[in-house]
Amino acid sequence: MNNGKGNNKRKSSSNKPSFGPKKKTSSVGSKFKKDEKSAFKGKSTFKGKTESKGKPDFDKDPKFDTQPKQHVKKADSDEIRLNKYISNSGICSRRDADIYIQSGNVLVNGQVVDEMGYKVKPGDVVNFDGALITPEKKEYILLNKPKGFTTAGDGEPGTNNVIDLVRGATRSSIQAVGRMDKTTTGLLLFTNDSDMLRKFTMPQQRSSKVYQVTLDKNLKYEDLEKVSGGITVDGHRVFVEEIDYVEGEPKSEIGIKLKTANVKVVRNIFEHLKYDVLKVDRVSFAGLTKKNLPRGNWRFLTDQEVINLKNS
């Protein structure tokens, strides 16, 4: 952890620049660029290793505190609306919480509370539909996953789990968004936000991911065309948004952009065409990139990045 921005215990032995085609193409004329400065200009969501700068954290930085403190009692500042308290616990949204409150299913200190806008004070005991709840601040952590760690295999001897890499980041109970095997590297998001977890693991989710794939041999032009036009793998039709060779690299280095949340699909595409996949590196996840995030390091998302994720 360095200045609260990441964990610098692990160093990357290789930090290749990412890539980004200018437009969808079925020809090799439009390359995935290695030079991020020339490849990702404009407003494209494909911005190589750049990241959203976000906005200052006005809630945490005292110099941005513009609230009239002389008019706010300290006791009030620690209070929180009941629907937000419930939402923060991860049970449901604020809107759904309002429905439960109106229905008389929420108790505060043993008393039914059906008042909209009711504020919970520190030390209050809240029961939701018969269960005691505790709110938890939403955390969003981005990891540049190294090789040798997996999202599965908890408790198995000799298995390194990705949660070990971010364990010191927060006391909250965070989970990885999606799955990654130990050979896949790149961006992996962690959060305790149940809505975010559902959003990015549902089959119909529409956020784009970008991968740099290393094959055991050059990808044939006709095979690139097949993938570009859509390909059937294991009985399922797979469509990619963009695919091309990585500019300045051997034709065994491929850039591919698609929406699926399943990393295995990337491998299956090329294995179906009789290529061995040597490496898969996720260089972009729903607009997030690896800029200033070496392999094995993590950082918290900015407020603006969280907003962007929720709107993606």
Please spell the DSSP secondary structure of 117-155, one letter per residue: T-EEPTT--EEETTEE-------EEEEEEPTT-BSS-TT
Query: How far is residue 73 from each of residues 16, 79, 124, 245, measured CA to CA in Å?
Result: 52, 11, 18, 61
Query: How far is residue 127 from each of residues 82, 88, 112, 172, measured CA to CA in Å?
Result: 11, 14, 9, 20
The pair phi, psi for residue 277, each rounded to 5°, is: -90, 115
Q: CA-to-CA distance for 164 and 171, rounded, in angstroms?
A: 13
Closest CA relative to residue 144, chosen from 302, 246, 6, 297? 297
3-state DSSP assignment of residue 102: helix
The pair phi, psi for residue 233, each rounded to 5°, is: -125, 120
Question: Which token pair is 106?
Answer: 């929420």
Q: For the chain, how far is it from start to end, CA to CA, in angstroms?
A: 29
Q: How many CB atoms lie within 10 A of CB 72?
A: 10
Question: Between 194-201 and 303-311, two packed helices, what is the crossing angle to 10 degrees?
Answer: 50
Task: Spell out the residues 6+ positions from residue 149 whose beta carbon is closer than 8 angstroms to its own.
Answer: 160, 161, 162, 164, 165, 182
Active-site amino acid positions: 181
